[in-house]
Structure 1
């Protein structure tokens, strides 16, 4: 047997290692959410009794953690949104736009993506079982919807209001295992699957399991989704960034992984896991099989756990050249010791064509994890009692949709394909529009829901932003919001190569709205560039 990365440890004292200078630290020259809130607090608390909690005596990891996707820009956008509501109530028009367009987060239904009919019909019956006793029910709902609702209700004692097993509802765990088997062509065991409140909770639990203190590091891509950097900071771990190559379509190069790993080891940091986001967020690239096999070999050689974030697996727009392949399939196809690589894979109902972000449903699958470690993961799940039941049921619908011959199948396929083709069209439209802007380059969005353009800001703009304590890309994004109502996220919130500036935007606004969004960005950008030339 090969050495295990994960093992249960006794409570031995550990020599703490100070954070390395190469570790990603809280972003410089950016206003934190805490700062904004503090600035908005009135003096009414100054005369009150001395408080036990102060900003200096709370856990400083909480204070240092940053989550740019819901950070300063969104707080400002919400304030402007309230101002717009007030204007409408008063019949005034002071701002040059009528609404905020939230392109800061992959939240499809916020931007008017229609929910899948089959999902909502089944959930409505499960939430209100009395509807099934209505004598006209078969005239209102398709027969397969009624059958599915009865099956689900039979598995949860006829109510969504009771706790489920901490690992998840057995019916859903079996459905997920069957889905994985169909997708990958390899066996999947329901006992190795945990249902979670979205993929994020699964990620947080595994990072909690892996990190003891700053001496433990997690290899994360740069740019990265800030769930990872924020959670690593919360758990007092070390962030070990490896740079994706923007000049080669945000490719992942093994030499860069080696550099990051070796730098950490030289400073006394133990790399525990490697995070791979495929398709990429915020960068939108898709991995090919050869690159994935290199990654698997790296993980086995270095004895690190592979964390495969695959929540965008249905959002691949280059299926002919780079179809989605799961890491589970890759390790099993490679065989031998690779098949037993310690790995956790994550999926969610929030992305893809499902877009049910608010339902908070997801799962993680363990591979090569020993029973004693799985028991500890179960303990972490038990502390949270159980995932929300509706989220679990939406996972079931995602992995087991209506099949050919069932009454709801044709409508489901039509809705699914319409959403997918529209996303693909909007991705191309947005990236083409961005590439037409002065000083902007944007790689093709091969997958996911985002574009991540590089903006070559004029020296005067960079100088001015620095003089007011803002990261230059954050200043650009604030000005974009104030001028157009479009809310995006600065690249500094995801990490980026020194001396470059980016922003992340979704292409989720509807086809009717996306062209207007592109024009507003273009008009603002030209004005901004002219101002600071």
Structure 2
């Protein structure tokens, strides 16, 4: 027998192997939780075990997780959630009456008046109604139909669901999806999983990461040679770039999408995170309807929001929603069927979303505390956005656009040629057991061409992690123009800790540049 036998039965090896698994999954990369984060967690473990490092803690500035960075929860939200989770507290005098009233309303809408029961697949009806009312208030009275609202497990789940509906075809007829570069890796990862074609359009770094319709048209025309472009994805305010689109830009994008018969996906999870003077959030739906029936009655669109960002930062509850506009009724039936397969979004996340879209009102006892906490969070983020931009722009070799919105900065770093050459050497001769030099492992899984612009900023970020304990994400994980190098950093750490992070990056960059000069 050529194969080892167990109890006389030949062993045929594993049923599932790298050779026979779904090939699309091997193409997935998700940089914000990639190899650098794995190494950061390893270093944290080493520090806890007493291993000596040049630093005392790892600061993970790689992801927009507000509470992990020290942001305090909004009191009213947690009070109501506590009451929903443990209804016996409704008899406790320590909770304000408006919190109790909200909890009773939410519990009444739950099966068996328990937040532990399944909900309708589309989400609890009264919460969908509250979301629709929120959208109407936000958009100046433009109607919103609760039947077009789908509650979701964060915005990410709804985005993936919508892309599943949109992707079809084979070969040159395969669905093409336009995504911005730099982009949030959820999009590239999902397109890889679904076997769709990624159509990259570049944001203009020289003009504060603005979006130019000429670039959209260039990308679209080039893509038509090898796929069927059907979808345009927009992130506003931007991630990782932090730009806020002007109303004129949004109008131009809508006209382009209509002219080219594209389905529009508007990722608006940072809609409360606008800091720069002269910038304002405009929802795509509002602009669409204000452009008149020619657009509002025909344009197919889905927009997304989440409880994870803005002033809430409640990432772990996985609450979110999607609103669909002008969807074919038969396709909408299929969408409802698709979300039904997962039974329902997490009910605690739905409850939290209800509080976000229907917060305390001026006449209620919790209003003053709520507004104080909300204002403080957003004011602190605005100050940290300013501080980050100003600090980076004092460092030779780092240039940073204004952080107009969202929670991140995406500065460009100028790297000496010797550092670029060193990264290429590491890429060729790396030891896979040493994450300091595992760039080839990183590259071997990357679906992008192995070209300049993919490796050196990874090498830079690994060195920064090992020498200063700062975990960032290299720009190559989001996409960037060939020959440019960046990193993404969240602005979420508390102000004093953020100052430490910025100083450490400054010191490292100067030292790194000197080493390879």
The separation in 2 between residues aligned to 1:357 and 1:495, in whole angstroms, is 24
Counterpart for residue 6 of structure 1: none
Q: Deviations over 1:218-265 (max 9, x none)?
A: 000000000000000000000000000100111100110001111111
Counterpart check, 1:79 vs 2:37: no
The separation in 1 between residues aligned to 2:493 and 2:55, in whole angstroms, is 16
Specify which of 284, 290, 313 is matched with residue 333 of structure 1: 290
Counterpart for residue 368 of structure 1: 326
Specify which of 265, 284, 287 is matched with residue 242 of structure 2: 284
The separation in 1 between residues aligned to 2:106 and 2:343, in whole angstroms, is 20
The separation in 2 between residues aligned to 1:173 and 1:129, in whole angstroms, is 23
Q: In angstroms, what is the RMSD of aligned CA positions? A: 1.2
Q: Deviations over 1:412-454 (max 9, x none)?
A: 0000000000001111111111111121111000000000000
Counterpart for residue 161 of structure 2: 205
Question: How far did 1:111 drift?
Answer: 0.5
Where in structure 2 are the equivalents of 1:114-513 lying within 5 Å? 114-132=72-90, 134=91, 137-138=92-93, 140-156=94-110, 157-185=112-140, 186-213=142-169, 215-267=174-226, 269-318=227-276, 320-340=277-297, 341-469=299-427, 470=439, 471-513=455-497
Structure 1 SS opposite 2:24: helix
Question: How far did 1:325 drift?
Answer: 0.6
The separation in 2 between residues aligned to 1:429 and 1:494, in whole angstroms, is 23
The separation in 1 between residues aligned to 2:462 and 2:163, in whole angstroms, is 32
Structure 1 SS opposite 2:67: helix
Structure 1 SS opposite 2:476: helix
Structure 2 SS opposite 1:275: strand
Structure 2 SS opposite 1:266: coil
- Given that 1:129 and 1:158 are in contact with CA atoms closer than 8 Å, whether structure 2 keeps it comes out as no
The separation in 2 between residues aligned to 1:379 and 1:326, in whole angstroms, is 28
The separation in 2 between residues aligned to 1:487 and 1:387, in whole angstroms, is 31
The separation in 2 between residues aligned to 1:503 and 1:85, in whole angstroms, is 28
- Once the two structures are overlaid, the 10-residue window that deviates more, 145-154 or 227-236, is 145-154
Counterpart check, 1:52 vs 2:15: yes
The separation in 2 between residues aligned to 1:97 and 1:106, in whole angstroms, is 23
Return structure 1 stretches of 4+ with deviation > 3 angstroms: none
Counterpart for residue 444 of structure 2: none
The separation in 2 between residues aligned to 1:405 and 1:368, in whole angstroms, is 37
Unaligned ranges ≥5, structure 2: 1-10, 428-438, 440-454
The separation in 2 between residues aligned to 1:200 and 1:346, in whole angstroms, is 9
The separation in 2 between residues aligned to 1:473 and 1:521, in whole angstroms, is 14
The separation in 2 between residues aligned to 1:222 and 1:405, in whole angstroms, is 45
